[in-house]
């Protein structure tokens, strides 16, 4: 029997990545920290989307509502209507907006299903965006966006954390991602999660077994809305601006693509997908210049759809054993 001192690479990998992410701000420049904060935010958003899409099997084209509207709630509270700068209050308000909007949209959507439901969410996203554009009583600033959202620093004892700049926001986002990830894992093991999976697999059967699926679908929308709201508020703090583009349905489409690209219904897939998309956008644009990164990302979408059924993540376990055995062979070789 072989005694293994180190766990297998597949098990060690997530912890290694976490350690790397924790240590990152100590050795990298502010730009990389910004990029990774962006990717982490999209990862939170994609996880929230995947709760509805990959786990419950509901396709939404209007998730920008749960991402943009909470950000607008923050914008209104911090700038246009009130002048609240307390970060805890702002994030709490955003979460509440996400939950309420999720329940509302979920209730409307529970009357339809499948592709029709997707179109209903799309229409709701369009209506929300047009509402933002129409600038009722000057509270959304229409096309001009709400700028200058700067929450004050959070002080615990004599330790203070800046939430609108670099490293502080980076750790906050990372912490939120870990909380969301842990919450998702626990949720999927709970009875709620089991019902979500059952709705995904066969809703008719669940109905004929006597389950009322509607409250569960509304619950899934609501939880997904809450998680997306966290992502929206992080972006509002990161960019210090809330623009109508955040409510545009194309954001919802992008998060759908990120989730499909990474692998829907897995925990790591949406996170991987958002890192791939953010880094492709950034580095492809510096490599090929101008707006030509679109070619790279477009080709990536096409190639993944054609050659990696189920997204990138389900393919990794097949790749990892080959990688780890290769690594082991390399380590065993005597110099």
Partner 1 sequence: MANVLVTQCLNGITIGLIFALVALGLTIVLGLMGVLNFAHGSFYMLGGYVTYSVFAAVGNFWLGLVAAMLVCAVVGILLYLTIVRPLTKRSPLEALLALVGVSMISLQAARTIWGPDPKLLPIPFGRVHIEMFGLDFQYPVYFFVAMGLAIAVLAGMSLLFRHTDIGIRCLAAIQDHEIASCMGVNVDRVSCLMFTVGMAVAGLAGGLAGPVFSVYPNMGIELIGMMFVIAIVGGMGSIGGTVIAATIIAMTKSISSIYISGNIADILAFTVLLVILLVRPRGIMGIASVMD
**Packing angle of the helix pair 268-288, 249-262 (nearest 10 deg):** 110
Instruction: Work out which of 114, 215, 321, 326 binds partner 1, going by CB under 8 A.
Output: 114
Name the residue among 241, 220, 219 with its Cα closest to residue 232: 241
**Residue 285 binds partner 1, judged by CB under 8 A:** no
Count of other CB atoms within 10 angstroms of residue 18: 12
Instruction: Work out which of 302, 319, 327, 328 binds partner 1, going by CB under 8 A.
Output: 302
Task: State both tokens at 225.
Answer: 């809305």
Cβ distance to partner 1 smaller for residue 32 or 139: 139
Q: How far is the CB of 296 from partner 1 (least distance, A)?
A: 10
Cβ distance to partner 1 smaller for residue 196 or 249: 249
**Residue 126 binds partner 1, judged by CB under 8 A:** yes
CA-CA distance, 27 to 9, in Å (whole number)?
Answer: 24
Instruction: Work out which of 111, 190, 319, 321 binds partner 1, going by CB under 8 A.
Output: 111
Torsion of CA 36, 40, 42, 45, to 10 degrees: -170
Q: How far is the CB of 165 from partner 1 (least distance, A)?
A: 33
**Residue 123 binds partner 1, judged by CB under 8 A:** yes
Q: Which residues contact 291 (CB under 8 A, 6 or more apart)?
A: 285
Contact letters for partner 1, residues 209-228 (x by CB under 8 A): --------------------
**Residue 82 binds partner 1, judged by CB under 8 A:** no
CA-CA distance, 58 to 109, in Å (whole number)?
Answer: 10
- Binding residues for partner 1, rule CB under 8 A, total 40
- Asked whether the CA dihedral 100, 102, 103, 105 is positive or negative, the reply is positive
Let me know: does 42 contact 258? Beta carbons within 8 Å.
yes
Instruction: Work out which of 88, 182, 186, 305 binds partner 1, going by CB under 8 A.
Output: 305
CA-CA distance, 93 to 294, in Å (whole number)?
Answer: 36
Q: Which residues bind partner 1 (CB under 8 A)?
A: 59, 61, 108, 111-112, 114-116, 119-120, 122-124, 126-127, 130-131, 133-134, 249, 253, 256-257, 260-261, 264, 291-292, 294-295, 297-302, 304-306, 309
């Amino acid at each position: 029997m072989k005694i293994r001192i180190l766990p297998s690479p597949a098990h060690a990998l997530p912890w290694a990545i976490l350690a790397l992410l924790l240590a990152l701000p100590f050795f990298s420049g502010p730009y990389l920290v910004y990029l990774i904060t962006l990717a982490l935010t999209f990862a939170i958003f994609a996880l929230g989307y995947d709760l509805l899409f990959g786990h419950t099997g509901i396709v939404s084209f209007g998730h920008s509502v749960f991402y943009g509207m909470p950000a607008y709630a923050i914008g209104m509270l911090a700038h246009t209507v009130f002048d609240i700068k307390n970060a805890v209050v702002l994030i709490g308000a955003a979460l509440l907006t996400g939950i309420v909007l999720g329940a509302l949209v979920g209730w409307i959507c529970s009357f339809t299903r499948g592709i029709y439901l997707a179109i209903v969410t799309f229409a709701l996203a369009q209506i929300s965006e047009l509402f933002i554009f129409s600038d009722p009583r000057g509270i959304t600033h229409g096309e001009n966006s709400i700028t200058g959202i700067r929450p004050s620093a959070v002080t615990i004892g004599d330790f203070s954390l800046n939430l609108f700049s670099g490293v502080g926001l980076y750790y906050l986002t990372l912490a939120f991602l870990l909380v969301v990830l842990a919450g998702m894992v626990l949720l999927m093991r709970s009875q709620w999660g089991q019902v979500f999976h059952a709705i995904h697999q066969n809703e008719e059967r669940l109905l004929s077994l006597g389950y009322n699926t509607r409250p569960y679908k509304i619950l899934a929308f609501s939880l997904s809305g809450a998680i997306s709201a966290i992502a929206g508020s992080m972006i509002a703090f990161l960019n210090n601006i809330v623009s109508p583009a955040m409510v545009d349905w194309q954001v919802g489409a992008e998060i759908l693509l990120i989730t499909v690209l990474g692998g829907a219904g897995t925990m790591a897939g949406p996170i991987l997908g958002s890192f791939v998309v953010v880094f492709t956008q950034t580095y492809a644009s510096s490599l090929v210049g101008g707006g030509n990164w679109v070619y790279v990302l477009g080709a990536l979408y096409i190639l993944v759809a054609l050659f990696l059924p189920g997204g990138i993540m389900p393919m990794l376990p097949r790749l990892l054993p080959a990688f780890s055995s290769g690594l082991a062979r390399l380590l065993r070789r005597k110099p």
